[in-house]
Amino acid sequence: MTVAGSSVQGEKGAAAPEPAFTSMRGGLMVAGTTSDAGKSVLVAGLCRWLARQGVRVAPFKAQNMSLNSFVTRDGAEIGRAQAMQARAARIEPEAAMNPVLLKPGSDRTSQVVVMGRPFAEAGALDYGDLTPQLLPVVLNALEDLRSRFDVVICEGAGSPAEINLRHRDITNLGLARPAGLPVLVVGDIDRGGVFAALHGTLALLDANDQKHISGFVINKFRGDPALLDSGLSMIHRITGRPVLGVLPYLTGLWLDVEDSLDLEKDRGPMRAPLGTDVLRVAVPRLPRLSNVTDVDALAAEPGVAVRLVHHGAEIAGSDLVVLPGTRATVNDLAWLRSTGLADAIIQHAAAGLPVLGICGGHQMLGRLVSDEVESRQGSVPGLGLLPTRTDFGAQKVLARPSGTALGQPVAGYEIHHGVVTLDPQAPQSQLSAAEAFLDGWRSGPVWGTTWHGALENDGFRRAFLTEVAGLAGRDGFQVAPDTSFSALREARLDSLADMVADHLDVAAVTRLINGGVPDDLPFVPPGRP
């Protein structure tokens, strides 16, 4: 198969030769000098750019630590970032794209999800004992994808220069070496010190690892790229590796985030309201907050301002409180109480103002949480805003449900151990006032559901915001009749592909995908101790 690619401008303004993709099963890894350097964004951009050339491309991340996850059509749980990258590639997400997912439950322990299913609970030290079992799973998943797609774009994790963890690495050079992958290292210039970070990352690797580092990419640059020319030349001369692109700082992408470093980043300005009122949405920034992507669809609406809040006083002036998902319901419920947010949410609802709980947030809204699985703390009182109780089971529920609510079709996905039911011990007045809502309940201005992704359904979101505006007394708020969250996501992914075409040396990247690891890359001392 030969496919023409985008042309890029060379140093003198001439168009570079159009890349062509051979029939071989190509692959490339995108690593980073740090977490949040831009790996996920560049992988998504490359996937969409390749897909636009007619290339059958798939994303892959061997091991992902994230509380933002997604459920595939066959009921497997993978990182939300890989689901987004699959969308960029215009294919259906699947478990092979993220064979190992770590979901932290505390600072020291994580649930280990393997090929989409819960596998074990492991501590930071214990996890190293699992990696010999996990590496064959990872390599088999990658080989499976490479057998079915023309190109697989792999994403590293953290930094490949984490020398204390190299012996158990299955996602950076620990994957690139057995898989024979060339590696691009991305550095975040917005943090400062990008040349030191690029050189230092390479120089801390041993000779066999260094052989796979094939080039650099500088990300999040603001200003005139000509200012970097001398530095680009020097880093090439010092390391023997070229900088294959200087990517601009892009705001307002709202792409599915992977880790906590991304959560409070600027997502661009609020879209201008259509009416005379703005809806203000407060989202408690839970310590183990998961699937915060649920509120992205609200932030995409004109006149809806979404912000994360840390203390009870910040709830004042909000029209809607969204209590999001969490990997640690009981512990995060205690945090809500310690920060004054619990009392503020109760007062908010008592004033007739709307509250929406999603998954873990739904569990917190009830009268009781009985947990012998995640926290093992037994029964603890909830906020008491819904006449429900939550009982945690050992079996994780992973599903892709659909139904109707507020007169609109709704589809979503479920990821939870806790099962919410009406509590027969609740006051009869509360029970009689409860109405079914998706798989959960509504009582007055308080809604609860276990479904993630419900707000991405355009018709349902409009109906919900209309009710919220009425309850909040925002008569001047006008819901947009035509916002398509799916179309906005597609536009963002296309903007990433445009960035790749315009600012990356796609001919050089194509040579790496087609040709593999170059055989003339020098060693840069001192190497790994």
pLDDT, tens digit (0-9, with 9 covering 90-100), for 170-217: 999 999 999 999 999 999 999 999 999 999 999 999 999 999 999 999
Q: Do domains 26-255+490-515 and 275-479 have the same CATH topology?
A: yes
How far from chain centre, in Å, is Cα 31? 16
Cα–Cα distance between 304 and 220 in angstroms, integer? 27
pLDDT, tens digit (0-9, with 9 covering 90-100), for 460-502: 999 999 999 999 999 999 999 999 999 999 999 999 999 999 9
Cα–Cα distance between 215 and 505 in angstroms, integer? 11
Residues acting as catalytic residues: 359, 452
Quick one: average pLDDT of 390-396?
Answer: 93
Q: How many residues does the chain have?
A: 529
| Strand, coil or helix: 393 | strand
pLDDT, tens digit (0-9, with 9 covering 90-100), for 74-84: 999 999 999 99
User: What confidence category does residue 2 fall into, taking pLDDT thresholds of 50, 70 and 90?
Assistant: very low
pLDDT, tens digit (0-9, with 9 covering 90-100), for 265-315: 555 678 999 999 999 999 999 999 998 889 999 999 999 999 999 999 999
- Is residue 10 scored above 50 in pLDDT? no
User: What confidence category does residue 67 fall into, taking pLDDT thresholds of 50, 70 and 90?
Assistant: confident
Query: Mean pLDDT score of the chain, rounded to an integer?
Result: 91
- Is residue 13 scored above 50 in pLDDT? no
Domain boundaries, the chain: 26-255+490-515, 275-479
User: What confidence category does residue 12 fall into, taking pLDDT thresholds of 50, 70 and 90?
Assistant: very low
Residue 334, φ and ψ in degrees, nearest 5: -65, -40
pLDDT given at position 122? 85
| Strand, coil or helix: 37 | coil
Quick one: average pLDDT of 399-422?
Answer: 96
pTM: 0.90
- Is residue 263 scored above 60 in pLDDT? no
Q: Which residue has the tokens 């215009």?
A: 90
pLDDT, tens digit (0-9, with 9 covering 90-100), for 205-250: 999 999 999 999 999 999 888 999 999 999 999 999 999 999 999 8
pLDDT given at position 266? 53
CATH 1.20.1250.20 for domain 275-479: no
DSSP structure string for 263-308: TTS---PPPPPSSS--EEEEEE--TTEE-GGGGHHHHTSTTEEEEE
User: What confidence category does residue 251 fall into, taking pLDDT thresholds of 50, 70 and 90?
Assistant: confident
CATH architecture for residues 26-255+490-515 = 3-Layer(aba) Sandwich (3.40)
